[in-house]
């Protein structure tokens, strides 16, 4: 089997490439030409991967690589994926996150192999935005999102993802292309980008610990601590992507844990893991990190993925937070040779 991964240098791309290699795939990764190295997350598997230069916004390069590499499966993980940035660079976000998907779908359609290629698109829980459903719980009504929840996107990123989501459905219905979308809720890891709130927190904690918990250490500056997210581990979620593509029928699935926690609760567990109970004085609330429009609450029900694909998450929220903290503490220690002797 041969797979192309757009977005192989990102968090998910690196885990998916590892998974596909373990399963015996030939993996082709598309990377952009940039002036600084971006291969950090895949350095350890580079000899086993074929790297091809390309940009998802360049229809020619997308079409050429699909014709030349003759893949069985294509995973599109490429995006301008930061919600906050999408308010500052909406046009770029649109071109990459929506336009790029159109380029891939058209390239598949005219490849001469449209019935031989299976396509996965990285959709997002951000598409639900402010919407949720209500279900009777034990003590209170539970708010949740699943495949039937109407979309109400709140950012240029989410709107671009929703356009891409509909394109995937439309190309499936119109041309019979095997195209599926995973509506993935937030998933994090030791490889998470440093501008996302979880990694921003754990990286700061790592550096703070490596400083010897120095009182002069600059505060951790954050925005809305009350936002709630359904956070899982990326390793579990890339398994879900692969399982969707192996099913005989293309379809869309919610991938989530079924639990929700606030940013504040993430901070509680992360700080407690390094022995700090009262973290409030270490954090400054900075309006710069508030968004023009916020998504307050996400809790996904992955019942369809469980029923049809047998998918379930294996890594708990607490394990996720602790793994991220441990990794960032270790990395920060290694960067402080003075502390390695102790
Ligand atoms: P990420 O770490 O930000 O990775 C994004 C990838 O897209 C990087 O490899 C990046 O390459 C590539 N890319 C950006 N612009 C490109 C362009 N013009 N042409 C080709 N490649 C381009 O994101 P992630 O967390 O792994 O997420 C993977 C996908 O899932 C994204 O589409 C994201 O929007 C979506 N998603 C993520 C989550 C989540 O919680 N992580 C949840 C739902 C959906 P460079 O290294 O060159 O920048
Ligand atoms: O924000 C709040 C922020 O940037 C989470 C992407 O992978 O998941 C991700 O999008 C919450 C928001 O992720 C800071 O306001 C507070 O409510 O980590 P985030 P996100 O926006 O949920 C979805 C599913 C995707 O598809 C996206 O690609 O945390 N928050 N203070 C902060 N967020 C950031 N980034 N920085 C702060 O200082």
- Written as one string, the DSSP assignment of 239-299 is HHHHHHHHSSS---EEE--S--EEHHHHHHHHHHHTT-S--GGGEEE-GGGS-SS---B--
Q: Whose CA is nearest to atom 4 of ligand 2?
A: 196
The three-class DSSP label of residue 114 is helix
pLDDT digits over 135-179, tens only? 887 777 899 999 999 999 999 999 999 999 999 999 999 999 999
Lookup: tokens for 117: 């290629």
CA distances from 246 to 2, 97, 238 (A): 13, 24, 13
For residue 202, report the distance from its CA to the centre of ligand 2, in Å.
14
Ligand that lies nearest to the alpha carbon of residue 4, given by its number in the listed order: 1
Task: Supply the residue whose CA is at minimum distance from atom 10 of ligand 2.
Answer: 83
Buried b (16+ CB within 10 A) or exposed e, 179-210: bbbbbbbbbbbbbbeeebbbbbbbbbbbbbbb
* 318 catalytic per annotation: no
Give 226 Cα–ligand 2 centroid separation in angstroms: 12
Task: Give 16's pLDDT tier (boundaries 50, 70, 90).
Answer: very high
User: What angle, rounded to 10 degrees, do the helices at 197-210 and 317-334 form?
Assistant: 40
Active site residue 126: yes
Is residue 124 annotated as part of the catalytic site, yes or no?
yes
CB of 90 within 6 A of ligand 1: the answer is no
List, for residues 86-143, the tens digit of each pLDDT value: 999 999 999 999 999 999 999 999 999 999 999 999 999 999 999 999 988 777 789 9
Which residue segments constitute the domains of the chain, with CATH numbers given? 2-190+232-259 (3.40.50.720), 197-226+262-298+316-332 (3.90.25.10)
Write the DSSP assignment of 11-29 as a string of letters: HHHHHHHHHHHHTT-EEEE
Tens of pLDDT, residues 240-261: 999 999 999 999 999 999 999 9
Grouping H, G, I as helix, E, B as strand and the rest as coil, residue 44 is helix
Phi, psi of 213 (to 5 degrees): 55, 45
Tell me, using a 6 A CB cutoff, whether residue 81 lines ligand 1.
yes
Bridge partners of 187, per DSSP, are 232
* Torsion over CA: 316, 322, 328, 331 (sign): negative
Yes or no: say if 276 and 329 are a contact pair by the CB < 8 Å rule: no
Residue 20 pLDDT: 98
Could you report the per-residue pLDDT of 41-82, keeping only the tens digit for each?
999 999 999 999 999 999 999 999 999 999 999 999 999 999
Phi, psi for 144 (deg, rounded to 5): -155, 165
Q: Which of 214, 217, 208, 225 is nearest to 280 (CA)?
A: 225
Percent of the chain with pLDDT over 90: 95
CB-CB contact of 330 with 208 (8 Å): no
Task: Decide whether any atom of ligand 2 lies within 6 Å of the 222 Cβ.
Answer: yes
Strand bridging mode 141-144 / 133-136: antiparallel
Kindly list the distances between the CA atom of residue 72 and the CA atoms of 2, 30, 203, 220, in Å, as whole numbers in the listed order.
Answer: 5, 15, 38, 45
Percent above pLDDT 70 for the chain: 98
**197 pLDDT band (50/70/90 cuts)?**
very high
Query: Which candidate, 163, 165, 133, 126, places its Cα nearest to that of 148?
Result: 133
What is the gyration radius of the CA atoms in the chain, in angstroms? 20
Closest to 325 in 3D by CA, of 278, 266, 279, 284: 266
Residue ID of nearest Cα to ligand 2 atom 8: 186
Position 341 scores a pLDDT of: 44
Which ligand is located closest to the Cα atom of residue 227?
A: 2
What pLDDT does residue 342 have? 41
Pocket-testing residue among 128, 223, 262, 270, ligand 2, by greatest number of atoms within 8 A of Cβ: 223
Give the long-range contacts of residues 93-96, CB within 8 A, separation 24 or more.
93/156, 93/157, 93/160, 94/156, 94/159, 94/160, 95/57, 96/56, 96/57, 96/160
Express each pLDDT in 301-328 by its tens digit: 999 999 999 999 999 999 999 999 999 9
Residues 6+ apart with CB under 8 A from 33: 53, 55
- The length of the chain is 342
In this structure, the dihedral spanned by the alpha carbons of residues 178, 184, 189 and 193, taken in order and rounded to 10 degrees, is 90
């Amino acid at each position: 089997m041969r797979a192309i991964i757009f977005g192989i240098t990102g968090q998910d791309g690196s885990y998916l490439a590892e998974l596909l290699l373990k399963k015996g795939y030939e993996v082709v990764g598309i990377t952009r030409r940039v002036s600084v190295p971006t291969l950090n997350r895949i350095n350890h598997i580079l000899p086993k991967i074929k790297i091809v230069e390309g940009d998802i916004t360049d229809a020619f390069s997308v079409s050429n690589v699909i014709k030349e590499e003759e893949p069985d499966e294509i995973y599109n993980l490429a995006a301008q994926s930061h919600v906050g940035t999408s308010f500052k660079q909406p046009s770029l976000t649109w071109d990459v996150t929506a336009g790029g998907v159109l380029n891939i779908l058209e390239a598949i359609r005219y490849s001469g192999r449209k019935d031989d290629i299976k396509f996965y698109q990285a959709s997002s829980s951000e598409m639900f935005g402010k919407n949720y459903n209500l279900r009777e719980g034990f003590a209170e009504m539970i708010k949740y999102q699943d495949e039937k929840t109407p979309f109400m996107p709140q950012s240029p990123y989410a709107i671009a993802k929703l356009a891409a989501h509909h394109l995937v459905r439309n190309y499936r219905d119109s041309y019979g292309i095997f195209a599926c979308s995973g509506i993935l809720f937030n998933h994090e890891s030791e490889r998470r980008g440093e501008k996302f709130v979880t990694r921003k927190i754990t990286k700061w904690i790592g550096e703070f610990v490596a400083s010897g918990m120095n009182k002069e250490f600059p505060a951790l500056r954050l925005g809305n601590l009350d936002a709630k997210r359904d956070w899982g581990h990326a390793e579990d979620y890339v398994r879900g992507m692969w399982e969707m593509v192996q099913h005989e029928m293309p379809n869309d699935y919610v991938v989530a844990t079924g639990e929700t926690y606030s940013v504040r609760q993430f901070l509680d567990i992360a700080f407690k893991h390094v022995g700090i109970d009262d973290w409030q004085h270490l954090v400054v609330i900075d309006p710069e990190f508030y968004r023009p429009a916020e998504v307050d609450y996400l809790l996904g029900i992955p019942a369809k993925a469980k029923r049809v694909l047998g998918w379930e998450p294996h890594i708990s929220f607490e394990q996720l937070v602790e793994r991220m903290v441990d990794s960032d503490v270790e990395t920060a220690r290694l960067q402080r040779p003075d502390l390695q002797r102790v």
